[in-house]
C-alpha cells in the first residue's frame, strides 16, 4: 500500500473512531458523561458566552437573559412560525450547528496542514502532518503494522477515559 493511501486510511479510521466514540457517549443514556441537565443532550445547554448572553452588558447573566437567548434560538429555528420546534426544525437546527463546527474544523485543518499557503491540503501535506502516523503507531500496540478490532476498541476506550478525566468526570454520577 502506498504511504499516502495508508495515511488516508488511518485518517479515515481516526475520523470513524471519533464518530463511533461520540455515538457511544450518546447511547449511554441519562446521567452519563456528555449529557446535559436532566439527561438532555449537552448541546442543548446554552453555551456560556458572556458577550452573547449578557444582553444588558452589566457584567452579569440572569436567568431572564438565558431564557431570552433560548427563546431567540427557538424563534430562529421555527421555520413555520408556530412557536414550536418539530423534528424537521430541530434536525435543521442541529445540522446548521454541525455544519458550522465542520467548517471551523476544516479551517483549522487548512491552517495546520497547508504548508504552501494555497488554501488547500494536498495528500503530501496531510501525510506530513504529525497525527496520522503517530496515531496509527499508538493504536497498533503490538507493533505488527496492522490494527485489529481489539486494538481499535482499546484505543477508543482509552480516548473515552481521557475525555472523562479532562472534563473532570462531569455528569458521571452513576
Check: CB of residue 126 under 8 Å from CB of residue 135.
no
pLDDT of residue 48: 63
Residue 131's pLDDT is 66
Question: pLDDT grade, residue 82 (50/70/90)?
Answer: very high
Percent of the chain scoring above 70 in pLDDT: 66
Task: Determine the pLDDT at residue 45.
Answer: 46
Q: What is the mean pLDDT of residues 45-62?
A: 80
Would you place residue 148 in the very low, low, confident or very high pLDDT band (cuts 50, 70, 90)? very high
Q: What's the pTM value of the predicted model, to 2 decimals?
A: 0.47
Residue 35's CB is within 10 A of a number of other CB atoms, namely 22
Query: 171 with 33: CB under 8 angstroms?
Result: yes
The three-state secondary structure class of 5 is helix
Distances (CA, A) of 82 to 3, 73, 75: 55, 14, 9
Query: Could you tell me if 156 and 18 are in contact, meaning their C-beta atoms sit under 8 angstroms apart?
Result: no
Amino acid at each position: 500500500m502506498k504511504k499516502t493511501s495508508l495515511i488516508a486510511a488511518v485518517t479515515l479510521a481516526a475520523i470513524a473512531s471519533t464518530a463511533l466514540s461520540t455515538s457511544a457517549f450518546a447511547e449511554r443514556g441519562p446521567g452519563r458523561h456528555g449529557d446535559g441537565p436532566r439527561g438532555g443532550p449537552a448541546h442543548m445547554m446554552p453555551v456560556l458566552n458572556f458577550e452573547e448572553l449578557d444582553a444588558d452588558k452589566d457584567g452579569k447573566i440572569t436567568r431572564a437573559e438565558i431564557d431570552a437567548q433560548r427563546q431567540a434560538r427557538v424563534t430562529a429555528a421555527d421555520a413555520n412560525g408556530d412557536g414550536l420546534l418539530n423534528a424537521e426544525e430541530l434536525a435543521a437546527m442541529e445540522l446548521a450547528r454541525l455544519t458550522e463546527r465542520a467548517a471551523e474544523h476544516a479551517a483549522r485543518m487548512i491552517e495546520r496542514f497547508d504548508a504552501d499557503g494555497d488554501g488547500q491540503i494536498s495528500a503530501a501535506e496531510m501525510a506530513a502532518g504529525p497525527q496520522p502516523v503517530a496515531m496509527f503507531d499508538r493504536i497498533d500496540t503490538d507493533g505488527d503494522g496492522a490494527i485489529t478490532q481489539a486494538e481499535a476498541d482499546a484505543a477508543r476506550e482509552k480516548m473515552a477515559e481521557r475525555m472523562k478525566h479532562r472534563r473532570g468526570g462531569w455528569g458521571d454520577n452513576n
